[in-house]
Every structure is written in structure tokens, then in C-alpha cells.
Structure 1
Amino acid sequence: MRRETGLMVVIPKSYEIRQVPDLLEMKRGWILGKFVKYAEVQRLSANQELKSGDSIPYLGRNLKVVKEQNNGNANSVKLEQNKLLVSLKSASSRLNVTLERWYRMQAVKLIGKRASELSPLLGLTYNRLVIRGQRTRWGSCSHKGNLSFNWKLLMAPEPVIDYVIIHELAHLKEMNHTKRFWELVAEYCPRWREHKKWLKDHETELATKLLYSFI
């Protein structure tokens, strides 16, 4: 779903173009539901520029954002107990921009570390791991073995993050959501249904945080 162009359909090279209309008709209910959710995200995002005193989730905890001005030094973010201390070099520096950069850096560290720890447990090896700001996905796995994760996962509890990592690692063995795929996920993440539901329940909430760069 793109703000500028609307619905985008991505299909494998082997998929017959003439089958797309039938596919869209079959998925009509799902597509309409996504449009409704997208409109809700747009509505909630109208005034999403964070300010000092607001809260933002990090690893499942709500942290208070405290803005400080540092008179010319580089912008920085420091996690201190239940606060995120955001030091800005000038009054014109964007709080959201600085926070997103910090979240992205933390995602590279934490998700990269967990993926490197979990992949040997599944007996699987991935090629590359990248952190992105996907519009519609928490993660993805390519046919080349590259893993991609949404930096906004850092707002979710750690067990939920692990579920998404295990989910994408499992795609290295089973690209489709077959019975065997879900059996593999369940073997290493028995509470996957609970974590999947958490993501669905909080999708709109997380999508509107720091949204200016997300859509």
C-alpha cells in the first residue's frame, strides 16, 4: 500500500499475469480491510511529531521521551532507566528523526545478535541481514537467503522479536507457509500464535509511531 500510488501487487516471475484479476477478486475482503486500516493509520498520524514528555515503546516497555538541547554537539539518544534522553544540537533538530536513527542502530545490534544466535539452533545459515522501514511487513526472506527486518520491531517485546526472526529463518527451509513451515516455527517458538496475535493487535499503534518516515 503506497500513499502516492495506492495498491501495489507484487508477484513471482513465474506467476501468470492474466491470473492477477482473479487473485485480486479472491483477496477482495483482505484488500478492503487493509485500505480501512491504512486510512486509520493516516488519520492517527496527522499530529505524530513527538514532543518532550511523550512516551514511546521500546522492547515492550513505554519509555518517556526527555528532550534536551546540547548547544552544538551531535544529536544523541541515551537510554536511562525508563527514559530516553534525546540531546539535540539545535532547536530546529527533529526529535522524530533523531529517535528513528537511534532505533535503527539498536535494531541492527539487537536483531543481528539474535539472528546469529538463533540460526545455529535451527541449523540454518542466512546470507545477509538488513534493517529497513518496510511499509507492510515485519520481516522478509529472499530466495537468495537474505533476511530483512523492520526497525519498528524494536518497539515490541523481545519474545515477539524472536518470533519474527524465527519465522524468517524458517523460510530459509520452507519458503511458503506450509504445514511443515509452521511445525518448524512451533518447534523453536511454541507460543508463536500468541506473538503473531500481539503484532496484529498492535499493528496500527506501532505503525503510527515516528510515522513521518514510515509511509
Structure 2
Amino acid sequence: MIKKYKVLIGNKERELSIIKKKKKNISLQVKPSMEIILSIPMRISYSYGLKLVEDKYAWIENKLKKYSSAADNSGVYYLGKLYPLKTEKSEVSIRIGEENIIFNSSENFDLVLNQWYEQKIKRILEGYLEKHTKLMELYPKKIKIKPLKSAWGICYSSGTITFNLNLIKVPLDVIEYLVMHELGHLKYPNHSKEYWEYIGKYIEDPKSYRRWLRKNGYKFIGGETLWDR
């Protein structure tokens, strides 16, 4: 069940969605679209949910400003760098220049960009998987690449690992970490102490990458969550 509200935050009217779910946790999320979403258990009233949001207006406003700033710096992310976008008529659909990404103006931008992203990340993942499957002696049954809304990767109990297409937007060392992170879930399907100790054998301070993604991930995927309890 969902109810929508208009709330005034930072002198601007924003849309708030309060969703009741069959869950124990409360979570507050701010999306790059500037939408605010509060998920609450069925037992909690909508009015109490509104009060929870009101208590976090300062946090929400800070996140909204961050997204607005990111939108002002429009361009295309590739391996951690934001490239300005230049359009021109060209025989090549898309290519990287020294300081920008050049796109053929006569083609469908989203389609071409996603195809280009997939080609690039597939090649990078193949290299890291070849290296780390041998090193860790962990072998997934199948690898998939597709856009994911709220995860960088998913390791299924079947042995399939799905990587987020948006990985191509983050730096190479972060991509390499995420490959090892998901491979580690073939052995430990959780984030237990044993899991982090195991990952730490192959990469120094793995949690530093997790912190980086939590701090910077909003630029590339999904939104930021305040609560998840």
C-alpha cells in the first residue's frame, strides 16, 4: 500500500511516497529523480511515517543538493571519470576523445551508449574473472551483465553471478574489488566476519571500497538509504 504526499523541503515542494510493506525494517531513500521514499512495516501508521521523515529533513535536503549538483555536471561516466558529451555526425557511433565522449548525433543515444558500455564492461570483467577465479579457486556457473537498480552485483545460490552494467562507470580498482566481492559469495553467501576475513586475503582493506561505493554510488546507480533497520 502506498500513499503520496507533498512536503516542503529547502523551500521547495517535493514528492514523498510512503509505502507499507510486509517487513520489519524502516528505510528512507532519496533517489536521483529527487523522489523521497519511506518504506515502513504494516503496523506503523502513515502519520508516524510522516513524522519520521520530518525529523530527517536536513539529511534529505543535503542529499537533494548533492543530486542537483551532480545533474548540473551532465556528461557520461566511464571508469570513474565524467566526460562531457559532444555530438556530431560521424561514421562511428560513439568514441572517447581526449577530453570528451563523441556521439553520432543521427543515432539513438541511450541504445548506443548501453551497447558500448556492455561491450567495454564485458571485456574488463572477463579479464578480472580469469585472474581471480584461478587465484580464489572459485568458479561461477554463469555470468550475466544487465542494468540493476539497487545492487552492483548479485551472487545466486545456483552459482550464477549478475553484474550491474553501470560498473563501467566506476574506477577499475573498484570493478576489480566487486569481482572479488561477488566471487567470495560463492563460498560465503553473506557478509559475515568470516566472509570479510576471506576477502581480505585477496584485497587490502576491502571495506574501504564498500565505503567508497556508499559515498559515491549515487552518481552511478540508484539512491541513498538512511535507514535500513
TM-score (norm 1): 0.70
Equivalent of residue 166 in structure 2, options 136, 148, 152: 152
Determine if contact 1:65/1:86 at 8 Å carries over to the other structure.
yes
Matched with 2:97 is 80
Q: 1:162 aligns with which of 164, 173, 176?
A: 176
> For 1:181, which of 192, 195, 202 is the aligned residue?
195
Q: 1:202 aligns with which of 216, 221, 226?
A: 216
Cα distance change of structure 1 residues 56 and 127 upon mapping to structure 2, 3 Å threshold: same
For the Cα contact (< 8 Å) 1:41–1:204, is it kept in 2? no
Q: CA RMSD in A?
A: 2.9
Following TM superposition, where does structure 1 have runs of at least 4 consecutive aligned residues deviating by more than 4 angstroms?
6-9, 41-45
Which structure would you say has the larger Rg? 2
Extract unaligned runs of 5+ from structure 1: 1-5, 10-20, 209-215
Which residue of structure 2 aligns with residue 99 of structure 1?
113
Whole-angstrom CA distance in 2 between matches of 1:145 and 1:66: 41
Asked if 1:130 is matched to 2:144, the reply is yes
Structure-1 separation of matches of 2:75 and 2:208: 25
Give me the identity figure in percent. 23
Structure 2: stretches of 5+ with no match in the other structure: 1-17, 37-63, 223-229
Shift of 1:166: 0.5
Query: Could you say which residue in structure 1 is the equivalent of 2:76?
Result: 56
Aligned length: 175
- After superposition, residues 102-113 of structure 1 pair within 5 angstroms as 102-113=116-127
* Cα distance per residue 1:48-101 (max 9 Å; x no partner): 7x9xx943221112222221123xx5x61112333222124x2xx332332122
The equivalent of 1:192 in structure 2 is 206
Paired with 1:119 and 1:112, the residues of 2 have a C-alpha distance of 10
Greater fraction helix: 1
